Amino acid sequence: MPPLPTETLRARPSWRAHAPVVAVVALGGGAGAAARHAAALRWPTPADGFPWTTLGVNITGCAMIGVLMVVIAEARTAHPLVRPFFGTGLLGGFTTFSAYAVDGHTLLAGGGGGLALTYLAVTPLAALGAVWAAASATRHTLGRRAVATTQRTGGGPRGGTP
């Protein structure tokens, strides 16, 4: 992910300065993977079946990171551990590239060429569509709210972003 929220820490790249970030990334990653595992148990994919659950998990996680990154960018004072926990940890642990590639490989090896190519192409397209649509919708919503707040409070930067 571009600019880490730890620029201030980067000048002093000691383990002690970096440890809280690594810790929240690990905690978020554990929680995200548990949620992915829960989805896999709730909606199991049959052998040689189309991996709907992994597709759904990846698209959902991509939409959520679209919302998160806009909210963090708009918020004036997001805590420096918010992005490592939710973005790098939780959503990074929830979504998975390795299962996507292995599922695609398994479909290809099983002779389902058309289905495999569909899965391999649809996932990145839907993921990009999801992150773009979610980011745009969030920007739009926050923009409208900021305008409404500015109008209510009679303008000025103090009434600005939520």
Partner 1 sequence: MTWLLVVLGAMAGAALRHLTDHAVRARHGAVFPWGTLTVNVAGCLVLGLLTGAVAAGAAGPRLQLLLGTGLCGALTTYSTFSYETLRLAETGSVRHAAANVTASVAAGLGAVSAGAALADTLWA
**By the criterion CB under 8 A, which residues form the site for partner 1?**
1-4, 21-22, 25-34, 36-37, 40, 58, 61-62, 64-66, 69, 84, 87-89, 91-102, 104-106, 108, 120, 123-124, 127-128, 130-132, 135
How is residue 79 written in tokens?
Answer: 């805590």
- The contacts of residue 125 (CB under 8 Å, 6+ apart) are none
Minimum CB separation from partner 1 for residue 144, in Å?
21
Minimum CB separation from partner 1 for residue 154, in Å?
34
- The contacts of residue 52 (CB under 8 Å, 6+ apart) are 43, 45
Q: Return the number of the residue (3 or 114) whose C-beta is nearest partner 1.
A: 3
Environment class of residue 86 by beta-carbon count within 10 Å: exposed (0-12), middle (13-18) or buried (19+)?
buried
Q: Return the number of the residue (20 or 149) whose C-beta is nearest partner 1.
A: 20
Minimum CB separation from partner 1 for residue 98, in Å?
4
Q: Return the number of the residue (109 or 148) whose C-beta is nearest partner 1.
A: 109
Number of H helices, E strands in the chain: 7, 0
Minimum CB separation from partner 1 for residue 32, in Å?
7
Minimum CB separation from partner 1 for residue 46, in Å?
16
The letter for the amino acid at 51 is P
Closest CA to 93 of 30, 19, 43: 30
Q: Return the number of the residue (18 or 159) whose C-beta is nearest partner 1.
A: 18
Q: How many CB atoms lie within 10 A of CB 156?
A: 8
Q: Return the number of the residue (20 or 159) whose C-beta is nearest partner 1.
A: 20
d(CA 38, CA 32): 10
